[in-house]
Amino acid sequence: MITAPQLEIAVLLLGMAILMFEAFATRVDKRVLAFAAIVGLALILIASFFVSPTPSPDRATGLWNFYTADKLSVFFKQFALLTTIFVLIMMIDYAPVVRASFPGTTDGLGEFFSVPIFTCVGLMYLVSAVDFIFIFVSLELVTVSFYVLVSFTRKNPVTLEAGVKYLVLSALSTAFLVYGIAWIFGATGQTNLQRITEALANPNTDHSAALLGVVLVLVALGFKIAAVPFQIWVPDVYQGAPTPVTAYLSVGSKAAGFVVLLRVLRPFVTLPQMQRLLVLIALLTLIYGNLAALPQGNLKRLLAYSSIAHSGYLLIGVVCLDGNAVVFYLAAYFLMTLLSFAVLVIVAQQTGEQISDFDGLAKRSPFLAFAMLIGMVSLAGVPFTAGFLGKFFIFYAAILQRQIALVVIGVITVGCGFYYYLKVVRAMYWQPANKAENIPISGLSRLAISALIAATIWLGVYPQPILNMLKR
C-alpha cells in the first residue's frame, strides 16, 4: 500500500531529476523533459488511487499532526497532478513563444518545464495541511515557484510588470498570513486546526483576538483566491504572465486556496461575525468580477475577471459551508478553464489574445471553435455541461440556507456572464475571418482538448463519479 506522503516525495524527486538532467544534458530538445514530466506525473496520478487511509485526527502523532490524507486532500492531490499535466501540455504548445523571448540562447525552456512540478508539490502539500505552520510553508512553496513562472518571459515588459506586481502583493499577503497566524496562536496557544477548534470551545479563550487573527488569514487567502477587495493584481498578472502559467494560477492556485479556506474556516464558523463577513465578500466578488468582465476586449483579461467572478460563486458555497458543492464547482471550473486556456494558447500564437482575433475561428478551425464554445457555455452555465451542475449545487446550498441576497445577486450576475462569454462565441461564429488558413494543432493537444470536452459534457450529464468520490 502507498501512503499519501510518498506521493509528494515522488513528485519532488521527479522535479529534481528533471532539473538535474536539464543541467547536464544541454543538447537534447527541451520538450523531451516536458514529456518525461507528463509521463512521471501520470504514473503518480495512477498511484494516488491506491492511497491507504489516514489515522483519525484525535489519535494523530508525528507527521500526522500537521498532515492529513482525508478524501478531500487525496481528491485535490489528483486535481493538482491533473492540472499540472494539462499545464505542461499547454507549455509544450507555448514553447516557441518562450524560446522567442530569449533570442540567441538555448536556455530557459528546461526550467520552464520543471518549475511547475515544484508548484505541484506545493499544491499537494497545501491541500493536506492541517497545521498553520505547514499551511504557511507549503503556500510559500507554491508562491515562490509562481514568482519564477509568472515573470518567466522577462524580456517582455508586460510580463515583467506582472511579475513585480505579483511579487510585491504576494509578499504583502504572506505578511498578513503570518501576522494572522501569530494572533491565532497567541489567543489559542495552538497551530493545529483540530486543537484550535478545541481551544475555541473553551470559554476562557479570547475569541476577539482569534477573530482578528482569522480575519488577517482571510486577507491572505482572499489574495490567493482573488476575492474582492484583494483582486486588484489579478487582471494585470493574468494578462502579463505566459498563458499556461495564467491557466495554472487560475486553476491550481485558486483550488488550493479554497481547500485551505474550507479547512481554516471550519473552527471559526461558530463565530457569527465570520458568516456576515464572508457574505459581504462573496457579494462584492460576484458583482465586481461580473461587471468588470463585461467591457473586456482581451480574452486573457476577460478570463481573469471571469476567474474573480467564479470565486464569487465558490464563496457562496463557502458561506453555506457546503464543501461538496465547492469541490464539485472547482472540478467543473478546472475542466472548463483549462479547456478555454488550451484553445487560447494555440489560437493566440496564430493571431492574438484579443477577442476580435477569434473572428471567424469556426471557419478556420471548427474543432478549436467547438472546444471554445463548450468551454464558454460551460463557464456561462448552460445545462449538460459541468459548469451548470456546479452552479446548480451552489445555488441549491444557498437556497437551502435561505441566503436570499446571494441568490438574487448570483442570478443577476449569471445573466452578465452569458453576455461576456457569448461575446467570444459571437466572434468565432458570427464574424467573418480575417485570415483564411487553417490553424495547426499537435496530436497531443488535440487529444488533451478532446478529453477536456468529453469530460465537461460527461460531468454535466452524469456527475455521479465525482459525487461518489466525495462521499467515500
Partner 1 sequence: MILFVIFCPIIAAILIMVGAPARKTALAASVLTLAAALFLLASFQLLQRDFQHVTSFTISPEWHLSFSTGVDGLSLAMVLLAAIVTLAAVWFAGKIEKYEKAFYACLLFISGGAIGAFASIDLFFFYAFHELALIPTFLLIGIWGSGNRIAAAWKITIYLAVGSFILLLGLILLYQSVPAASRSFDIRALQAAASLGQISADAQRHIYLLLLIGFGILTSLFPFHTWAPEAYAAAPAPAAMLHAGILKKFGLYGLLRLAIPMLPEGARHWTNLLVVLLLANIIYVGLVTIAQKRLDWMLGYSSVMHMGYIFLGIASAGILGVTGAATMMFAHGLSIALLFALAGELRKRTGTLIFDELGGLAKVMPFAGLAFGLGAFAAIGLPGFANFAGEIMIFFGAFKNGWEIGRFHIFQVATVLALWGVVFSTVYMLRAYRKAFMGMLNERWNGLVDLRTGLRVPVALLVGALLWYGFFPQSFVRMITPAFRTYLTANK
**Residue 23 or 454 with smaller CB distance to partner 1:** 454
The answer to whether 414 contacts partner 1 (rule: CB under 8 A) is yes
Among 94, 268, 288, 388, the residue binding partner 1 under the rule CB under 8 A is 388
**Residue 21 or 384 with smaller CB distance to partner 1:** 384
**Residue 129 or 459 with smaller CB distance to partner 1:** 459
**Residue 163 or 381 with smaller CB distance to partner 1:** 381
Which residues have CB under 8 Å from 281's CB, separation 6+?
218, 222, 227, 228, 315
The residues that bridge with 67 in the sheet, in sequence order, are 129
Return the C-alpha cell found at 185.
496562536
The answer to whether 415 contacts partner 1 (rule: CB under 8 A) is yes
**Residue 118 or 395 with smaller CB distance to partner 1:** 395
- Interface with partner 1: number of residues (CB under 8 A): 32
The answer to whether 259 contacts partner 1 (rule: CB under 8 A) is no
The answer to whether 433 contacts partner 1 (rule: CB under 8 A) is no
**Residue 147 or 367 with smaller CB distance to partner 1:** 367
**Residue 269 or 400 with smaller CB distance to partner 1:** 400
Among 69, 425, 448, 452, the residue binding partner 1 under the rule CB under 8 A is 425
Do the Cβ atoms of 90 and 345 come closer than 8 Å? yes
| Residue whose C-alpha is closest to residue 461's, from 401, 380, 394, 378 | 378
CB of 446 to partner 1, least distance (A): 15
**Residue 13 or 399 with smaller CB distance to partner 1:** 399
**Residue 55 or 415 with smaller CB distance to partner 1:** 415
Do the Cβ atoms of 155 and 225 come closer than 8 Å? no
CB of 414 to partner 1, least distance (A): 5
CB of 384 to partner 1, least distance (A): 6
**Residue 154 or 426 with smaller CB distance to partner 1:** 426
Do the Cβ atoms of 231 and 260 come closer than 8 Å? no
CB of 254 to partner 1, least distance (A): 24
Among 21, 35, 147, 418, the residue binding partner 1 under the rule CB under 8 A is 418
For the chain, the residue count is 472
Among 426, 433, 444, 446, the residue binding partner 1 under the rule CB under 8 A is 426
The answer to whether 407 contacts partner 1 (rule: CB under 8 A) is yes
Stretch that binds partner 1, among 97-105, 112-120, 341-349, 462-470 (CB under 8 A): 462-470
Stretch that binds partner 1, among 23-31, 32-40, 142-150, 419-427 (CB under 8 A): 419-427
Main-chain dihedrals φ then ψ at residue 194, nearest 5 degrees: -60, -45
Q: Which amino acid is at 25?
A: A
CB of 409 to partner 1, least distance (A): 12
Name residues contacting partner 1, limited to 10-69 (CB under 8 A).
none
**Residue 45 or 373 with smaller CB distance to partner 1:** 373
**Residue 303 or 362 with smaller CB distance to partner 1:** 362
The answer to whether 382 contacts partner 1 (rule: CB under 8 A) is yes
3-state secondary structure the chain: CECHHHHHHHHHHHHHHHHHHHHHCCCCCCHHHHHHHHHHHHHHHHHHHHECCCCCHHHCCHHHHCECCCHHHHHHHHHHHHHHHHHHHHHHHHHHHHHHCCCCCCCCHHHHHHHHHHHHHHHHHHHHECEHHHHHHHHHHHHHHHHHHHCCCCCCHHHHHHHHHHHHHHHHHHHHHHHHHHHHHHHHCCCEHHHHHHHHHCCCCCHHHHHHHHHHHHHHHHHHHCCCCCCCHHHHHHHHCCHHHHHHHHHHHHHHHHHHHHHHHHHHCCCHHHHHHHHHHHHHHHHHHHHHHCCCCEHHHHHHHHHHHHHHHHHHHHHCCCHHHHHHHHHHHHHHHHHHHHHHHHHHHHCCCEHHHHCCHHHHCHHHHHHHHHHHHHHHCCCCCHHHHHHHHHHHHHHHCCCHHHHHHHHHHHHHHHHHHHHHHHHHHCCCCCCCCCCCCCHHHHHHHHHHHHHHHHHHHCCHHHHHHHHC
What is the spatial distance between Cα 126 and Cα 83, in angstroms, rounded to a whole number? 15
Kindly write out the interface string for residues 336-375 of this chain, putting x where it contacts partner 1 by CB under 8 A and - elsewhere. --------------------------x----------x--
The answer to whether 206 contacts partner 1 (rule: CB under 8 A) is no
Do the Cβ atoms of 211 and 273 come closer than 8 Å? yes
The answer to whether 383 contacts partner 1 (rule: CB under 8 A) is yes
The answer to whether 294 contacts partner 1 (rule: CB under 8 A) is no
CB of 86 to partner 1, least distance (A): 25
Among 36, 172, 277, 412, the residue binding partner 1 under the rule CB under 8 A is 412
Among 411, 447, 451, 454, the residue binding partner 1 under the rule CB under 8 A is 411
Stretch that binds partner 1, among 4-12, 244-252, 278-286, 421-429 (CB under 8 A): 421-429
Interaction site with partner 1 (CB under 8 A): 362, 373, 377, 380-384, 388, 392, 395-396, 399-400, 407, 411-412, 414-415, 418-419, 422, 425-426, 429-430, 461-464, 467, 471
